[in-house]
Amino acid sequence: MTQTNPIRDPEDETRRPVSPTGGRTGMRLIVPLQGVVQGRGGLILGSLIPCALFYFLQFYLKRHRSPPPPASPSSSNLPELARTSSRSNLTSRGSMGQARVSSRASSIAKPNDSPYYIGLDRASEDAYDELENPNGVIQLGLSENRLSLDLIEQWLSRNLNGSILGGGGGGLSMSGIATYQAFDDGLWELKVAMAGFMSQIMGRAVSFNPSQLVLTSGATPAIEILCFCLADPGHAFLIPTPYYPGFDRDVRWRTGVELIPVHCRSSDNFTLSITALDQAYNQVRKRGQKVRGILLSNPSNPVGSILTRETLYNLLDFARDKNIHIISDEIFAGSIYGSEEFVSMAEILDSEDVDRNRVHIVYGLSKDLSLPGFRVGAIYSWNEHVLTASKQLTRFCSISAPTQRLLIPMLSDTRFTQEYIETNRKRIQSMYDLFVAGLEQLGIKCAKSSGGLYCWADMRELIRPYNEKGELDLWDKLLNIAKINVTPGSACHCIEPGWFRCCFTTLSKKDIPLVIERIRKVVETCKPPS
Amino acid sequence: MAIEIEQPRVGLSKIAVSKTHGEDSPYFAGWKAYDENPYEEFGNPSGVIQMGLAENQVSFDMLEDYLEQHSEEASWGKKASGFRENALFQDYHGLQFFRKAMASFMEQIRGGRAKFNPDRVVITAGATAANELLTFILADPGDALLVPTPYYPGFDRDLRWRTGVNIVPIHCDSSNNFQVTPQALEAAYKSAESMNIKVRGVLITNPSNPLGVTIHRSTLEHILDFVTLKNIHLVSDEIYSGSVFSPTEFTSVAEILQWRNYKDCERVHIVYSLSKDLGLPGFRVGTIYSYNDQVVTTARRMSSFTLISSQTQQLLGLMLSDEKFTGNYITKNRDRLRNRYEKMISGLRNAGVECLEGNAGLFCWVNLSPLLESQTRESELAVWDLILHRVKLNISPGSSCHCSEPGWFRVCFANMSEKTLEVALKRIQIFMEERKIKSD
C-alpha cells in the first residue's frame, strides 16, 4: 500500500483523517516484538519492555516525521475546489510542454454537467420560433422578463428618438466620463436615480440613501464582491434550499467560500425555519468551520415566496445572536403579483434600532426592468468598511458609461417608472394566472408564490422512481420529447425530488396553450396506469 | 443620556481589510491633491495640473464627430426588434459582431501583420478585469507572475488582491534603457524558486507603462523562448498598441507567433482595451485574446463577473466595423500623440531635464535624479512632494512603479489640452531655473 503524504494529495486530506506517517511502521515492529518478548521474558519483561520500546519508537518517529506544511495561503485555500478539481483532470499534465492552468480554472473548464446549464444551451441552440422553428425547444428555464420591453422602447423613442446614445446628443461629450477613477462604483446621478427607483419598487415603504449604494456590472459580481468582503476561503454561508443554481458559481468559484444548505420542505410551503437554520449553524460549527452569514433571495428563487415581516425580524435576531451577516438578494422585489406585500430588509432596519452593520442588500435591473444585457447591479449596505472595500472592488466590474448615461434620465422619470412598475406587475400576474391554470388542467399544482418570473411546479406524482434519477428522467423527457426546457429541483438543491421551476415571462399569452399541450403529452406517459 | 453599548464587531474578510489595494501609495496620494485643488485655465490657474493620469484626450473630437455624423445608424440593430434583443442579450460569449470588430481593429493596429480570430476574443469590463481574470486562471494562491520593473502601479492590486498571487519583479535599469535581459529573467525566476514560490508566467506590458517604449523584437523572442523552456505562460498587455508614434516600431507577440506558425502558442495570452487607444476608459471595454482553448473557455465563463453592457458592444461594434474610420483614426491619433511627445521632450530639454527615448504611450519616463539629495527612495519622494506642492504638478514617482533606480518619474502628456501642457512645461522650466540659481 502506498504511503501518500496527506498534505500533498488534497483529495486524500479531505477524506481520511491525517495519520502520522509513523503509525503503520510502528505497528509492524511492535507485534513481532511482543511475541518475542512474551515468549521469553516473564511479566515485567513481557509488558514493560515492549511498552517502553513502543513509546521510544513513537518518540523517535515523531521527531523524524516530515515537517508540517508551512502556514502559507497556498495550501489552505480553496478546499472546496481542490476536492472537485482532481489533479488527474489537468489533461495537459501528460503531454509535454503544455503550461498548466490553475486548479481553480481546471474545475471550471470542465463542461457544465448541471441540467440547469445543459438545458439553457439546448434551448438556445434549438430555439423555438413560431414560423422558423415551430418544433424547437421552448425556453422556460431562463428567468427573463419579456413582457414589458415595449414600454421601455416607447420611452426610448419618445426621449431619445430611438437612438442608442443617452445623455442628449452625443453621449461622449460629458465631462463625467473623462475622469477615470472617480466613478468606478457608478456616477452619482445614477446612484441617486437608482436609490429612487429602488424605493419605488419597494412601494415607497423605505427610502434608500445613494451614498450607501455601490453599482456593479450586474448582480452577479455584486454577490461575489460581498462574499469576498465578508468571508475568507473556507468560511461558509448558510443558504435556504431550494436556491438559484447560479449561486454555486457566484459565491464559491473564486472566493473559496462554501454554501451550506438549510433544507426547506413543501410541508410548510418551503418556509425557512429558524430551527433548521440553527441546526445547520451548529453542525457547521461542530466541524470547526466558521459561518460568516446567511444568503437569502427574497422574493425567493426558485419558489417565488416572500419572507414575512416576522421572519425577517427573526432572521435579524438570529444573525445578531451569532454575530453573522445577512445578504438579502432582492432582485425580484419589483416582480410581485398577488396581494401579499413585499417587505425589504431595508424596511426592517429602518424601523428598528438595530445593528445595521451586518445587513447587505443586492439589487439589479435585469429582472424588474428587463435589462439583463445592460449589466446593472447594486450593493446596498450600512457597513462603512464593506462599502469602502466594495467600492474599490468595482474597478473589476463597473457599469459602462453610455449605459449609465442612458439610465439616468430613464430612472429619474418617475412617472414612467411608476407606470412601468404597475403595468409590468399586472402583466406578470395575468401570465402567472394563465400558466398556473394551464398546469392545473394537467393535474400539476404549484407552490404558493407571490413573486418572481416563474412558478414552482409539483410533479412529484409523475416521477418514477421517487428520487433524483426519476426527476432527471422526467426533465429529460420534457426537454427532448416535449421540447420544453424547465429547471429541475435538484439543480436548485431541493431536498424533495419532483419539483420544477417554470419561467413563464419569456412567453406570450398565445404560447401557453402550446406549452401546456406539449407538457400534456409527456405527462400522459408518466401517469400510473389506472 | 444614552449609554453607548459597544456592539460586537461583525467580522470581515482579510481581503476587505488588507492594504493590497494600494490606495496609500503616492500614486493615489497625488490624485487626492489634484482633486482638492484642480487646475483650471481661467477658474484656478494656479491649481495642480494632473500629469499622473495616463488617459488619451487628444483624439476625442474624432469620436464625437463620427457619432454625430452617424447618429442615424447608431441604432440598436438592424431588425425592428433590435432594442429588445440587445436589452436581453447577456450571453458571456459577447456579441459576435462586436468581437469581429474588435479582432479587425486589433489587426489594423498591427498593420495586418497578425491575424486575430473573433472566436478567441473574450470580453471583460476593462483591461483591469482582464488582467485579474487571467491571473485567476493561470495561477493559484501563493504562486507568482514575473513582471519587469518598472511597472504600472495598478498591477499590485489587479494581479494580487483577490487572487492571492504574488508578483516577483524582473529588475531592469537604465544601463540598457530598462530593457528586459536574459540574465534578469533568469534571476527573477531563481529568486522565486529560492522563496519556494511557483512561477506560473511572465506578464509584460508592450508598449511599456511607465517607460513609454515598445519592446524590441529580439527581447520578445527571448521572452517567448524563456517561457517555453520553463513551461510557463506569457501575458502580453498590449493596451497601448494603438498609441505607438510610428506604425513600424511596434512588434506584437502575436506577430512573432504567426511567424513561428503558432508553435507553442497555447501559453500566450494578449490583453487589450479601448481605454487608451480610443480614449474611452468609462466605457469599460477590455478583452483577453488567448491562443489556449481551455483558457478561452474558462475566461468566458469567468467573464460573467465582468461583462460589457450589450448597448456598448452594439455601439462600438458599429464604430469599429467602419474600417475607413478606424484606419483614419489610428493614423491621426498616432500623429497627434507623437506631436505631443515631441513638444513635451523639447520643453523638458529646454528646462535641462532628460528623459528616456520613448516611442509610444501617453507619458514620458523622466530622469530627475540630478535633483535628488541622495540616490534613495526617500529623496525621490521628497522631490515628488516638492513638485506636487511647490510646482503644483502631479507626476508619478518611479518607486510606486517599483523602479530599482531612484529618481525616475512618469509624466503624462495626453490627458490635457495643448495649452495646459504648455503651462506645465513653463512651470518646470521656472522650477529648474530657480534650482540652478540656488545652486550657483
Residue A77 lies in a domain: no
Residue A88 lies in a domain: no
Contact A77, A233 (CB under 8 A): yes
CATH number at residue A273: 3.40.640.10
A vs B, Cβ pairs < 8 A, gives 255
Percentage above 90 pLDDT, chain A: 66
A288/chain B closest Cα distance in angstroms: 17
CATH number at residue A126: 3.90.1150.10
Residue A177 lies in a domain: yes
Q: Check whether A8 has a pLDDT greater than 70.
A: no
Residue A93 lies in a domain: no
Examine the domain organization and report whether A277 and A365 are in the same domain: yes
Examine the domain organization and report whether A282 and A179 are in the same domain: yes
Q: Check whether A178 has a pLDDT greater than 80.
A: no
Domains of chain B by start residue, with CATH = 26-61+331-435 (3.90.1150.10), 76-325 (3.40.640.10)
pLDDT, averaged across chain A: 82
For residue B233, give the nearest of A99, A109, A169 by CB distance.
Answer: A99
Examine the domain organization and report whether A392 and A248 are in the same domain: yes
Helix pair angle (B323-350, B96-109), 10° resolution: 50
Interface of B with A in 244-273 (CB under 8 A): 264, 266-267
**What does the alpha-carbon distance between residue A387 and residue A212 come to, in Å, rounded to a whole number?**
7
**What does the alpha-carbon distance between residue B185 and residue B352 come to, in Å, rounded to a whole number?**
34
**In terms of pLDDT, which residue wins out, B16 or A239?**
A239
- Which among A384, A316, A298, A300 is positioned nearest to A352, based on CA atoms? A316
Q: Which residues of A touch B141 (CB under 8 A)?
A: 73-74, 77-78, 233
Domain count, chain A: 2
Pairwise CB contact (< 8 Å): A78 & B141? yes
Residue A124 lies in a domain: yes
Examine the domain organization and report whether A423 and A511 are in the same domain: yes
pLDDT in tens, B282-312: 999 999 999 999 999 999 999 999 999 999 9
For residue B53, give the nearest of A78, A180, A235 by CB distance.
Answer: A180
**In terms of pLDDT, which residue wins out, A218 or B10?**
A218
pLDDT score at B391: 94
Q: What's the domain range around A205? A: 170-413
For residue B141, give the nearest of A70, A73, A371 by CB distance.
Answer: A73
Residue A63 lies in a domain: no
Q: What pLDDT band is residue B12 in, cutting at 50, 70 and 90?
A: confident
pLDDT in tens, A366-408: 999 999 999 999 999 999 999 999 999 999 999 999 999 999 9
pLDDT in tens, B228-264: 999 999 999 999 999 999 888 999 999 999 999 999 9
Does the CB of B69 have a partner CB in chain A at under 8 Å? Answer: no
Pairwise CB contact (< 8 Å): A396 & B125? yes
**What does the alpha-carbon distance between residue B431 and residue B439 come to, in Å, rounded to a whole number?**
12
Examine the domain organization and report whether A209 and A351 are in the same domain: yes
Q: Catalytic residue positions of A? A: 244, 329, 331, 367
Query: Which one of the listed residues B237, B240, B277, B329 is annotated catalytic?
Result: B237
Examine the domain organization and report whether A314 and A371 are in the same domain: yes
Element (H, E) at A479: helix A468-480
Examine the domain organization and report whether A204 and A351 are in the same domain: yes
Does the reported pTM lie above 0.90? Answer: no
B405/chain A closest Cα distance in angstroms: 28
Pairwise CB contact (< 8 Å): B309 & A386? no
**What does the alpha-carbon distance between residue A328 and residue B136 come to, in Å, rounded to a whole number?**
27
Pairwise CB contact (< 8 Å): A165 & B67? yes
**What does the alpha-carbon distance between residue A236 and residue A260 come to, in Å, rounded to a whole number?**
7
Is B143 one of the catalytic residues?
A: no
pLDDT in tens, B21-38: 655 677 677 888 888 999
- Residue A266 CB neighbours (<10 A): 17
Who contacts A103 (Cβ-Cβ below 8 Å, separation ≥6)? A78, A81, A82, A85, A87, B140
Query: Which one of the listed residues B123, B215, B223, B239 is annotated catalytic?
Result: B239
Omega cis (within 30) before A299: yes
Examine the domain organization and report whether A426 and A368 are in the same domain: no
Domain limit, last residue, from A365, A384, A413: A413
A328/chain B closest Cα distance in angstroms: 17
Domain limit, last residue, from A413, A437, A463: A413
A498/chain B closest Cα distance in angstroms: 29
Examine the domain organization and report whether A374 and A250 are in the same domain: yes
Pairwise CB contact (< 8 Å): A165 & B138? no
Pairwise CB contact (< 8 Å): A153 & B57? no
pLDDT score at A62: 52
Pairwise CB contact (< 8 Å): B67 & A108? no
Alpha helices by DSSP H, listed for A231-324, are 246-252, 274-286, 309-322
pLDDT score at B5: 43
Omega cis (within 30) before A242: yes
Residue A339 lies in a domain: yes
Q: Check whether B360 has a pLDDT greater than 50.
A: yes
Examine the domain organization and report whether A276 and A328 are in the same domain: yes
Residue A233 lies in a domain: yes
pLDDT in tens, A117-174: 888 888 888 999 888 899 999 999 999 999 999 999 999 989 987 777 765 444 454 4
pLDDT in tens, B36-70: 999 998 899 999 999 999 999 999 899 988 888 88
Pairwise CB contact (< 8 Å): B295 & A101? yes
A181/chain B closest Cα distance in angstroms: 9
For residue A398, give the nearest of B57, B71, B284 by CB distance.
Answer: B284
Q: What is the mean pLDDT of residues A3-31?
A: 37
pLDDT, averaged across chain B: 92
Examine the domain organization and report whether A310 and A240 are in the same domain: yes
For residue B13, give the nearest of A178, A228, A373 by CB distance.
Answer: A228
Examine the domain organization and report whether A427 and A386 are in the same domain: no
Domain limit, last residue, from A413, A442, A466: A413
Omega cis (within 30) before A69: no
Burial of A463 (0-12, 13-18, 19+ CB in 10 A): buried
For residue A419 the three cell numbers come to: 407606470
